[in-house]
Each structure stands twice: as structure tokens, then as C-alpha cells.
Amino acid sequence: MKQIDIKIEKTARYFVLGTPSDKITDVWFVCHGYGQLAKYFIKWFEPILNESTLIIAPEGLSRFYWNGFSGNVVASWMTKEERKSDIDDYVQYLDKVAHQVLQKRMKVNINILGFSQGAATASRWAILGEVTPTNLILWAGSFPTDISSLENIEAFNKFSLHFLIGDADKLFSEEIINQYIEEFKEKEIPFKLFRYTGGHKILPQPLLKLQKHLSK
């Protein structure tokens, strides 16, 4: 048996909070987690919306029924099957979204945020894509092991790296967090760690605190 891959066109979507104008100084690209839809995920970012902020929520290219054959429809960025092709596809898709949104807005701050599974997506895009962010924010997620941080050390010097992890996040034990942070320290990759009270979710108060920190 021989596998043959072909490239096809696919209709994808993204959602926008805010009004594009000359007043925009900060553009947030926010990547949802596994089993979410962008139109609901983007609502988590309403607390930071103002006249100078534009929030863009792309959606994973693979949609499916959460309960098997019916019920709520959700999306995913990738699986272990054909992962390289999926990564290539969504990096190209995210680049296209960014180029359409940014157009001539070359002086804005670009924040790429990934939540949960979206943290790996955001990381790959920041490293492999055509858009260099001002800040890469990984919320309740980790940097993917398939991208060597040592081989891409120059990329880490082009943006600021931020981690946000709740103290009641069941997916992250304190042992895992400490081990993960130590790895970045050993590689001398600068980062900022924000801890907040709460679980595996983007919450208003730490989000507002993050926005204030990034605006300094």
C-alpha cells in the first residue's frame, strides 16, 4: 500500500472582538484548547477589550462531535495521526489569518496566546510561522517537545515568553511545573511566570493583570 498526499483548499474561520481602526495598538491572537470552539473561547477575552485592542480567535481545522455522533460540535488543532501535515496546515492557516488582520498595521504589539492544547499550537506558529510576536503567552499549556528550543534559541530572543498556570489546575502538579520551569532556566531562555488562584481556565483577574504587565 502506498500513501499519496495532496493539497486541497479548505474554508476556515476566525472570530474578532474589537473594531479595526488606526487606534489599534495591540492585537491578540488567541488559540483555543482541545474540544472548544473559537466563537465561545473568544468571549473569555472580553475583559481586556478596549478601543486600542483587537482580539482574533482562529479555530482548529478539525471539528467533531464531542459526544460521538451528536450533540455539541467542538474543534481540535491536531492529533497524533499525520501530525506533521496538520502542523504545516495550521501554521499556513494562522499566517494567512494574521496577514489578513494585520495588513498595514506594522507598529502594533502582537500577542500570541495559546490555552491548553492551543499552547503548543501558538508555540509552533511563533517559531515556524511568518509572524513574529511581541509576546508568546502559554496559558495552562506547555511548549511542544517536537520543537527544539536549543535549535530555535534565536527565535526566543525575538519575543517575550510568558507562562500562566493556576494553583488548582489538575493537569499540572507542582512537581511538573517546577521541572518544566527548570528546563527553561537551564537553557537560559528568559520567561515570566504568572501563578493565579484557579483551575484550567482563563479567568478575568489574571488576564487583566497580564494585560497590564504587557502594556508597561
Lowest mean pLDDT segment, chosen from 30-34, 154-158, 199-203: 154-158
Q: Residue 147 — pLDDT band, cuts 50, 70, 90?
A: confident
Domain ranges of the chain: 14-214
> In whole angstroms, what is the distance from residue 18 CA to residue 27 CA?
10
**One-letter amino acid identity for 66?**
W
> In whole angstroms, what is the distance from residue 82 CA to residue 214 CA?
36
The DSSP bridge pattern shows strands 53-58 and 109-115 to be unpaired
Instruction: Identify the CATH assignment for 14-214 out of 3.30.420.10, 3.40.50.2000, 3.40.50.1820, 3.40.50.2300.
Output: 3.40.50.1820
Q: What is the pLDDT of residue 28?
A: 98
Q: What is the pLDDT of residue 143?
A: 86
> In whole angstroms, what is the distance from residue 178 CA to residue 152 CA?
22
Q: What is the pLDDT of residue 53?
A: 96
> Does position 149 have pLDDT exceeding 80, yes or no?
no
Instruction: Compute the mean pLDDT over every residue in the chain, rounded to the nearest whole number.
Output: 92
Q: What is the pLDDT of residue 215?
A: 87
> In whole angstroms, what is the distance from residue 39 CA to residue 170 CA?
25
Within 8 A by CB and 6+ apart from 4, the residues are none
**One-letter amino acid identity for 100?**
Q
What pLDDT digit, counting tens, does each position of 52-99 carry? 999 999 999 999 899 888 889 999 999 999 999 999 999 999 999 999
pTM, rounded to two decimals: 0.94
Structural contact between residues 39 and 33, judged by C-beta atoms closer than 8 angstroms:
no
Torsion angle, alpha carbons of 156, 109, 208, 52, to 10: -170
Give the CA angle between residues 42, 46, 51 to the nearest 5°. Answer: 115
